[in-house]
A and B are shown apart, each in its own frame.
Chain A
Amino acid sequence: MRKQKETAGVLSQSKIAPGIYDMWIETGIAADARPGQFICVYPRDKSTLLPRPISICEVREDRRALRIVYRVAGQGTAEFSGYREGEPVSVMGPLGNGFPLEAAEGKRVFLMGGGIGVPPILELAKELPVPGQIIVGYRDDRLFLKEDLEKYGRVYIATEDGSAGTRGNVMDAIAANDLQADVIFACGPMPMLRAIKAYAQEKGIPAYISLEEHMACGVGACLGCVVKTAQVHHHTNVNNARICTDGPVFEAGEVEI
């Protein structure tokens, strides 16, 4: 699974919710990509130096294309949102470790996504060896990727304004539907991941959470994107792990969040 940087081609792009874009890219990176891994996308604008880390949402069956669903958060992602079919896009990947699928074997599983943390849950649900209980949280009823997720498991929705599913967050959706699990896989904002970590500790079950942080290199060299770890990390030899390379997925008990 060698990392590569290449000029790939945009296959399609559409806006699927306010500020949320859905792009399919034809790229050799798709061949080895696993759920929970990410790619770096490089803006063309030379005033923007750094790649944008974006999670892999889906890999096409023939493993020659992959899908990213991302939010326009600044100059770089605004540029990406303007790309049209047939245009080049500079990408590097696959990056990071991804979710440990084997941990789901024979288990009751929660697949939890919040906001722009929902996209990686799709490929995860698709490749998981068992059907997952998919619990996803949104701000309001503009529910992106819901139909895609429904193909791979029962989907439970939470919205902050109560306009769809359970009013509140993903934890409220678990309680409202009286759901149970032996293992959790999750991606989302830090408050959600903290709540999941606390819930998993209380239940005594493992939770694999995907983290994000400002990055520069994406390959583990710059030490920009670290997270505090409970133990001295084997690579860094301090209580820090690199999210880009040692993560982005960590067992919640390993990290101080």
Chain B
Amino acid sequence: MGNLKAAAEVPQTTINKPKPMAELLRKWGLPAVLLGPFLLLITVFFIAPVVLIIILAFTNMDSAMVWDLNGLLNFKKMASDPNLGEIMLNTVTYVGLTLALNIFLGLSLALLTTYFIQRETVGLVIRTIWMLPRISPPVVYVLLWLWFFDPSEYGVLNSLRALFDMSATNFLVDQPMTAVVLANGLIGASYGMIIFSSAIKSIPGDLFMAARVDGAAQRSIIFDIIIPAVRWPLMFVTLWQLLSLLTSYEYILLLTKGGPLIETEVMALYSYHKAFQSFEYGYGSAVALVLVVIALICTFIFWRIFGMDKMIKSSRVE
């Protein structure tokens, strides 16, 4: 009622007494007050850091923390950096394999806990177990992996190998990237699992019943009904995880520190190491800026080429 009354009053006020400021305030006052704090936070914590990184990338800021602009020197240095080729390759391997594991595991778990296991309580328990690493601090989670891969004969992996008369191995040195992908892939799967589970649950039950009546095989139900129905969540999770993985390095830092040598050093970690280990803040920012550009290109590809922009258009069903 109140809204109707207010709406009725507006044209009258406009006609009788044109007050542009008051009108502007009336129109934008409340949204400004409500959105103001959040806009401020976004500016301070999201936009400002990006702007700072862009500026920093064109300086030679080192441990003295002085803003000395040096043009494109950091980017020229990057072009001749002997490590960067291997690091970029590592990034592609790490992001590609982890993403594949994330999505595959996430979807498998969602199918298991919503389609194959029909009892909600059992599905819930399984999903909760998979969520546990997500809610534990990264340091604790990685510590468990470090114990698992411990090179001594007391490590979990080596104890298991001993059962089959296999010698102890130092997995983190022999297969560092596999270890990093496993640690990241398993924890990342829970995100996709939750989104895919809810998407599968929202598929009308009639479709499954009709498929069964028509004698459709399980494989056919999964690939012809479920996967097409979760196409958009699949796309969203893939993009989201891709962007997260490009910029994530904390698990690698804790697990292998990018080593041995630079075998698990990825772009984001290299940026961190350059800035906070070698105190080359300018160069570290330039590496981070390249990473931002790569992320933007990936987003664009998903948006335009895979048609993700259609996802936010209004539904055509109605």
A-B complex is real = no
B residues touching A (Cβ–Cβ < 8 Å)? none
